[in-house]
Chain A
Amino acid sequence: MTTAVREERPGGTGGALLDVRGLRVTFGGRGRRRRGGFVAVDGVDLTVGPEETLGLVGESGSGKTTVARCVAGLIRPDAGGVHFEGRPLGPAGRRGAAQRAVQMVFQDPRSSLNPRLTVASVIGEAWRTHPAAAPEGDREVALRGLLADVGLGPEVADRRAAELSGGQCQRVSIARALAVRPRLLVCDEAVSALDVSVQAQILGLLAGLRRSHRLAMLFITHDLGVVRQIADRVAVMRRGAVVEEGPTDEVLDAPRHEYTRALLDAALDLNGPGPEGEAA
């Protein structure tokens, strides 16, 4: 495969799990054409294959979250659409079986969990919503297994979200998403707010789950180091459009688009230049 500066899409999308095509989202504006509105996403095409991880990067405001919200069915695009396993994905709540196949993990682990619910009831609720995914045998055992999958001990089951650390909350969010056995996990800045140490734990965890649970991921982040770790392919967004896409190592080693180069120049490395400047 070669790095393609976006002009023409490489080949068809045969076998894609997720297929985002011609996505356009306008905020505000009047009428059906949303005249005078702000075009946040303009003609985005993306595919994610089965068990593949696609990294989506770009600076603040480039439209990454907006794309994720369309995939989750939380926003309706004014043009284009999202297909999952070849079938169109409707708005959230009206997706049938695909509802549980596509799960989201958001940036702020605290605000995405009800602080008063225990971890056991958070997971129980996911199983009630999607009875098809609920364990057939002993739920206690299933719950313990799920918590172990995300690196949490069984004692956490009776704790409330308010009593957990940020890293623990993020693991619970992931456990909740995994509880319903999704095929695709959409992670929007899921590790950005965490310490490097916890971040590395969660990334290791996701990489493992990918294999054991045969998960595909759309992984949104502004941290190119994180992308390097987790993504098979990366797409770079700027001002609502994808400007470059390709295998992660190729894009990061030899970026074709000047904007990708600018992002790379801005990214810091541990062994980059120090305070006295350019001598590395």
Chain B
Amino acid sequence: MSGPTTAGGTGRAGAAGPGGRAEPLLRVAGLSVGAPGGPRIVDGVSFEVPEATTVGLIGESGSGKTMTARAIIGLLPGGVEAGGTLRWRGEDLLGAGPGRRRAVRGREIAMIFQDPLAALNPTQRIGRQVGEILRRDGLPRREVRRRVVELLGLAGVPEPEERMRRYPHEFSGGLRQRAMIALALAGSPALLLADEPTTALDVTVQARILRLLRSVQRERGLAMLLVSHDLRVVAHTAHQVVVMYAGRVAERGAARQLLARPAHPYTAALVRSVPAVRTRSALATPLPGSPANPAERPAGCAFHPRCPLARERCRTRVPEVREVAPGRFSACHFAAEVFGS
């Protein structure tokens, strides 16, 4: 069975910006990911990452957030391929050869992974791993060392001269995540893809890491794609939000406005399910059912089996992504209604 055909492939959904606008740092248009002939794990995803901006990518587990990030950096698992358009500063990345992709990776686009222990080499000292890209640039040993100490310090690793000689297993979870950040910043990328950077950490460490990412982002004018299933983390960190459901974009727009006034029933349900810390007895309302698996995506609107507003049309027709307000896009047949209410 091939996936539903309506929303895929056209690659136009997000491309129709106001005429003559400058090309954003990254433009993702009609991105799809899947095994050839198989279902689309990611299906027609479009959004933009402007320079020096943090874009939050949210959705339940399995919604395709990690796959989207991996497609952007060009590190998809074996057997799955990306289609559609990825424009990096106007350059077509999916059409670029492997040499060019490798050159972009680490130096222009870098990624920090959900599980730093799996991403770091257990047999190499932290300092060596952070300095790898600098050594490849042919920097002299001394200079590499100096920069590694500086990067670890910037990432908030205390006593970097001492710590750079340690191995990943000698670091706590929070320190490992900091080492990953230092490693990602080593190539001075313009875009950082951060996949659930704080999900495994406790609140106090999480707050420190988010503060760090925010300050690095501001100081270096870095753009960031922050992948998280925690809406609170995204609300705290992102300027723009992209909400994914079953491999597709449900809604996207400016972060605060989107979370305060969703234009898609899925976003509204996610927002209602977040437990509040500072307000009394604001009971979170659970979202019924379980997330749709992109491989067995329901026909029509993939969210319809869980949607309180679902009507006949939702079961058969895939909703198009439409602009409901300037800069706000929603893939719901009744977006205007949801947004207005």
**CB within 8 Å of B: which residues of A?**
59-60, 165-168, 195-201, 203-204, 222-226, 228-229, 249, 252-253, 262-275
Q: Any chain A CB within 8 A of the CB of B269?
A: yes
21 contacts between A and B (CB under 8 A): A59-B202, A59-B204, A195-B60, A195-B229, A196-B230, A196-B274, A197-B291, A200-B287, A201-B286, A222-B202, A225-B277, A229-B283, A252-B277, A266-B204, A268-B207, A269-B276, A270-B271, A272-B278, A274-B235, A275-B237, A275-B255
How many A-B contacts are there with CB distance less than 8 Å?
A: 133
Which B residues are in CB contact (< 8 Å) with A168? 290
A interface: dominant SS: helix
Contact A275 B61 (CB under 8 A): no
Given the interface contacts A196-B229, A201-B287, A275-B214, does A268 sit within 8 Å of B60 by beta carbon? Answer: no
Q: Which of A167, A199, A252, A269 contacts B273 (CB 8 A)?
A: A199
B interface: dominant SS: loop
CA distance A167 to B284 in the complex (A): 17
Which A residues are in CB contact (< 8 Å) with B290? 165, 167-168, 198
Contact B236 A225 (CB under 8 A): no
Query: Taking each of B60, B230, B232, which has the highest tally of chain A beta carbons within 10 Å of its own beta carbon?
Result: B232
Contact B276 A270 (CB under 8 A): yes
Which A residues are in CB contact (< 8 Å) with B236? 268, 272-275
Contact B233 A268 (CB under 8 A): yes
CA distance A127 to B285 in the complex (A): 33
Q: Which of A200, A201, A249, A271 contacts B275 (CB 8 A)?
A: A200
Q: How large is the interface on B (under 10, 10 to 19, 20 to 34, 35 or more residues)?
A: 35 or more
Which B residues are in CB contact (< 8 Å) with A225? 232, 274-277, 284
Q: Which of B207, B235, B269 contacts A270 (CB 8 A)?
A: B235
Query: Taking each of B173, B203, B232, B270, which has the highest tally of chain A beta carbons within 10 Å of its own beta carbon?
Result: B203
How far, in Å, is B202 (CB) from chain A's closest CB? Answer: 4
How far, in Å, is A176 (CB) from chain B's closest CB? Answer: 20
Which B residues are in CB contact (< 8 Å) with A228? 275-277, 280-281
Given the interface contacts A204-B286, A270-B232, A274-B236, does A197 sit within 8 Å of B204 by beta carbon? Answer: no
Proximity bits, B287-327, A CB within 8 Å = 1, else 0:
11011000000000000000000000000000000000000
CA distance A214 to B54 in the complex (A): 46
Query: Taking each of A204, A269, A270, A274, which has the highest tally of chain B beta carbons within 10 Å of its own beta carbon?
Result: A270
Q: Which B residue sits closest to A222, measured CB to CB?
A: B202
Which B residues are in CB contact (< 8 Å) with A267? 203, 207, 277
Query: Taking each of A59, A166, A275, which has the highest tally of chain B beta carbons within 10 Å of its own beta carbon?
Result: A275
Which A residues are in CB contact (< 8 Å) with B238? 274-275
Contact A224 B231 (CB under 8 A): no
Given the interface contacts A229-B284, A270-B232, A275-B236, does A197 sit within 8 Å of B259 by beta carbon? Answer: no
Q: Which B residue sits closest to A58, measured CB to CB?
A: B202
Q: A201-B286, A228-B281, A271-B260 provided; 20 other pairs, C-beta below 8 A?
A: A59-B202, A166-B61, A196-B275, A197-B270, A199-B275, A200-B274, A201-B287, A224-B277, A225-B276, A229-B275, A264-B277, A264-B278, A266-B203, A267-B207, A267-B277, A269-B276, A274-B256, A275-B214, A275-B238, A275-B255
Which A residues are in CB contact (< 8 Å) with B270? 196-197
Contact A197 B202 (CB under 8 A): no
Which B residues are in CB contact (< 8 Å) with A165? 290
CA distance A253 to B280 in the complex (A): 8
Which B residues are in CB contact (< 8 Å) with A204? 284, 286
Contact A196 B203 (CB under 8 A): no
Within 8 A of A (CB), among B3-27: none
CA distance A200 to B256 in the complex (A): 22
How far, in Å, is A208 (CB) from chain B's closest CB? Answer: 11
Given the interface contacts A59-B204, A266-B203, A266-B207, does A195 sit within 8 Å of B61 by beta carbon? Answer: yes
Which B residues are in CB contact (< 8 Å) with A200? 273-275, 284-287
